[in-house]
Chain A
């Protein structure tokens, strides 16, 4: 089946640090990748949608200058949390899908980010 690898799985760092999270589709070409954030005991909130080679589309209220998304190839998207602060601590999950609306999203294992 379709496998999405997310790295790292856990990050603990000091306030002010920038953190990069990678999302890779291992056995399929992901034309579209999605980034979600999930706070404890809450649902997933879509942050942005990225298509390979294009600028990401951010959801309302998500700062594009703080959450930098790059989707440089059909198998890799990265999310960089710039100058992270404690309120950015969360579980970040990426997903990927192939072309076509009927294709399900395949989720990575998530990255737990803790900012001290």
Chain B
């Protein structure tokens, strides 16, 4: 059974600081996704990582994938308040693209 673990689950940061969210998964997969969810809203796709060593960056967020270690990271650079949200990683389970989600990391960026 595929399990996806994120840590930390809660993260309080000051503006301007850097931090990393980790996503570990238990079985082989070469497709990993990062999503953002604002309170009461649905999910916004951030990154799709499709191969070992993949690195993608968008603004202050950078995601990477190490399929051998079964680990993905979401790095936040010089955080700003607008980044406050819950971030989910999700791993593709099988042939239909079924996703198993981590528990999410609730990020709060304070001035």
Listed in ascending order, the chain A residues whose CB lies under 8 Å from chain B are 6, 32, 34, 42-46, 49, 51, 57, 93, 95, 97, 101-110, 112
Contacts and interface: CB of A to CB of B under 8 A. Distances in A.
Interface size, B (range): 20 to 34
B25 interface: no
Contact of A46 (B31, B100, B102): B100
A34 B99 contact: yes
Contacts of A42: 103
Q: Is the interface of A mostly helix, strand, loop or mixed?
A: strand
A109 B103 contact: no
Contacts of B48: 102, 104
A46 B42 contact: no
A102 B31 CA distance: 8
Contacts of A107: 35, 42-45
30 contacts: A32-B96, A32-B97, A34-B97, A34-B99, A43-B102, A43-B103, A44-B43, A44-B88, A44-B90, A45-B101, A46-B98, A46-B99, A46-B100, A46-B101, A49-B96, A57-B96, A93-B42, A95-B43, A101-B31, A101-B92, A101-B97, A102-B31, A102-B48, A102-B50, A104-B33, A105-B99, A107-B35, A107-B43, A110-B42, A112-B40
